[in-house]
Structure 1
Amino acid sequence: MRTYSLDDVHETRKRRDSWWTVYFVDPVACRVALPVANHTRLTPNGLTVFSLVLGLVSAVCFGLNQLIAGAGFFYLSFMIDCVDGKIARLKGTGTPFGLWLDYVGDRIRVVLCAGGLAYGQYTLTGDVRYIVLGAAVAVLDLFRYVNAPQMKRVRDAVREERQDPEPEEVDPLLAGPLEPESLGRAPRSRVFRFFRRLNRFLARRRVRSHLVSGIEFHAAVFVIAPLAGAWALIPLAVSSGALLLLNEVFLVYRMWLFTRRHGVGSSQESREHVLV
């Protein structure tokens, strides 16, 4: 059986990832993945199930008002969730079912932990705001994961109708297409130049240009806020949720601009292809 090195594990990291993962999770996940790959027969699916179990323990801790323990188990759950992807890429043992399991497991973890956090704080304080907050966290997370593949389907449908094999230029802020008038000449605004430089700076560090994603949202709600204390739960959840929602709205706006700029037809068949 092949023996893997830490460099081999590092090669499995995503080319660009969230800043939370790059700086606070990958350094641990890579070192955990190394002995898992070399000394165990654990499969990516087995690791995903283990991650989900840790997420359930985190939810129970939150429900019992053990915030620090809940934050610790949530971090461990997410870290193991990163390890399973590294093992799958390292050994080539990933499966389509594993992708589904990983996707569904993430959603279950967030819903359980949001419910546990809301229940624990409500039973302690009687403040109904925690119930509302737990529901809002779960709904926002589900919306984000429903919205992303639908936006991709819209873009793919437009490109298919255009029958354009050429790749799109990449927007320096949100990885969306650039405006046609921006191509072939110097950017017209300082804001554009700033985001170009920012994107290159982040790319050198493997950090994605959209700095507020679901991963940062989860980290703020289920790790940082519980570690800070109960006083931080509502302010951090509301602020990080607002930033995430703003990012989603901006992504939808960019998609709308893309469809207007590259719209080629509106047959009933193409509409059904996008919306069904």
Structure 2
Amino acid sequence: MLGGMRTYSLDDVYETRKRRDSWWTVYFVDPVACRVALPVANRTRMTPNGLTVLSLVLGMVSAACFASNQLIAGAAFFYLSFMIDCVDGKIARLKGTGTPFGLWLDYVGDRIRVVLCAGGLAYGQYALTGDVRYVVLGAAVAVLDLFRYVNAPQMKRVRDAIREERQERDPLSEPDTLTDADALTDPDPDPLPAQESAQEPERAPLGRAGRPRGLLRLFRRLNRFLARHRVRSHLVSGIEFHAAVFVIAPLAGAWALIPLAALSGLLLLANEVFLVYRMWLFARRHGAGSPQESREHVLV
């Protein structure tokens, strides 16, 4: 331990975990990242921004491995890069040293890592096989990732604009409580605690017998189960997409690159369509009451 520094325990590090996160992070990354964060916090003066830069460097090494057709090494370095990326957030929350610039650096670093690794994977396989499908694969992965992380904040802006309109029309109304369904539109949200999301703040539509429809009951039971294990209810997000393309598929072998990337890409698109549908329902339910009160362009 360095002189004058507070000593943190593993329980302190556990407290920095997001209240709900992707299943890939919860089960395959956090158990390692928490144990790495502990000595980093206690024995070094590394800052969150420094860890973010280290994560980006490891991502570049991963891209170079993919470009030279070293798939297993590329997968290992991508995992390390993502794990360190999780450590920087834990250190920031543990020590209270996070900054707005750090948020920007983390966001941009993630996008650079994905683009470089997608390009490296495409180049390496195309140079080896001459199969143009790998070029399409790299471009599709980069576009899907950028779409995902551009679309999410825009959907959030739509919701915020609608809520502002409602508040202006009825200043005495209470702000909407963020439900788990609303939180789905965030790219990497830190939603409500498990006990809050399990309270079911919205009433389910009733069937003929006056009971919630079976599908909604099933969804809410599943959501409560996942909440108890800190897992987000949307099971295929950008993180799982990255894990499938850059970790699982390379470890399985070159034969798995296109099938797994295509499958995970389709699941990601389905998730995005679902999120857009939920946003549309929110806008329809809580939108302006008359054409004069509505704002035609909420994103301008």
TM-score bin (small chain): over 0.9
Whether 2:150 is the aligned partner of 1:146: answer: yes
Distance of aligned partners of 1:268 and 1:139 in 2 relative to their CA distance in 1, 3 Å threshold: farther
Quote the Cα distance in structure 2 between the aligned partners of 1:86 and 1:258.
33
Distance of aligned partners of 1:173 and 1:239 in 2 relative to their CA distance in 1, 3 Å threshold: farther
Quote the Cα distance in structure 2 between the aligned partners of 1:187 and 1:90.
45
Residue in structure 2 matching 1:262, options 286, 293, 296: 286
Detail structure 1 runs of 4+ shifted over 4 Å in the superposition.
171-181, 265-269
Quote the Cα distance in structure 2 between the aligned partners of 1:89 and 1:182.
39
Distance of aligned partners of 1:55 and 1:113 in 2 relative to their CA distance in 1, 3 Å threshold: same
How do 1:5-154 and structure 2 match up within 5 A?
A: 5-154=9-158
Stretches of structure 2 that go unaligned for 5 or more consecutive residues are 168-172, 186-199
- After superposition, the C-alpha distances for 1:102-148 in whole angstroms (9 at most, x for unaligned) are 00000000000000000000000000000001000000000000000
Distance of aligned partners of 1:153 and 1:172 in 2 relative to their CA distance in 1, 3 Å threshold: closer
Q: CA RMSD in A?
A: 2.1
**Mean alpha-carbon deviation: is it higher for 255-264 or for 5-14?**
255-264
1:133–1:234 contact (8 Å) kept in structure 2: yes
Deviation at residue 173 of structure 1 after TM alignment: 9.5
Alignment coverage as a number of residue pairs: 274
Quote the Cα distance in structure 2 between the aligned partners of 1:178 and 1:14.
21
Deviation at residue 59 of structure 1 after TM alignment: 0.1
Distance of aligned partners of 1:144 and 1:108 in 2 relative to their CA distance in 1, 3 Å threshold: same
Counterpart code for 1:214:
G
Aligned to 1:159: 163
Whose helix proportion is higher, 1 or 2? 1
Deviation at residue 275 of structure 1 after TM alignment: 1.4
Stretches of structure 1 that go unaligned for 5 or more consecutive residues are none
Aligned to 2:188: none
Deviation at residue 262 of structure 1 after TM alignment: 1.2
Distance of aligned partners of 1:2 and 1:179 in 2 relative to their CA distance in 1, 3 Å threshold: closer
Deviation at residue 199 of structure 1 after TM alignment: 0.3
Percent identity, aligned pairs only? 81
Aligned to 1:4: 8
1:174–1:251 contact (8 Å) kept in structure 2: no
Deviation at residue 182 of structure 1 after TM alignment: 3.2
TM (normalized to structure 1)?
0.94
Quote the Cα distance in structure 1 between the aligned partners of 2:83 and 2:115.
18
1:209 partner SS: coil
**Mean alpha-carbon deviation: is it higher for 260-269 or for 102-111?**
260-269
TM (normalized to structure 2)?
0.86
Distance of aligned partners of 1:146 and 1:175 in 2 relative to their CA distance in 1, 3 Å threshold: closer
Residue in structure 2 matching 1:207, options 231, 247, 272: 231
Quote the Cα distance in structure 2 between the aligned partners of 1:178 and 1:257.
16
Deviation at residue 178 of structure 1 after TM alignment: 8.0
Distance of aligned partners of 1:174 and 1:93 in 2 relative to their CA distance in 1, 3 Å threshold: closer
Deviation at residue 165 of structure 1 after TM alignment: 2.5
2:287–2:294 contact (8 Å) kept in structure 1: no
Aligned to 1:193: 217
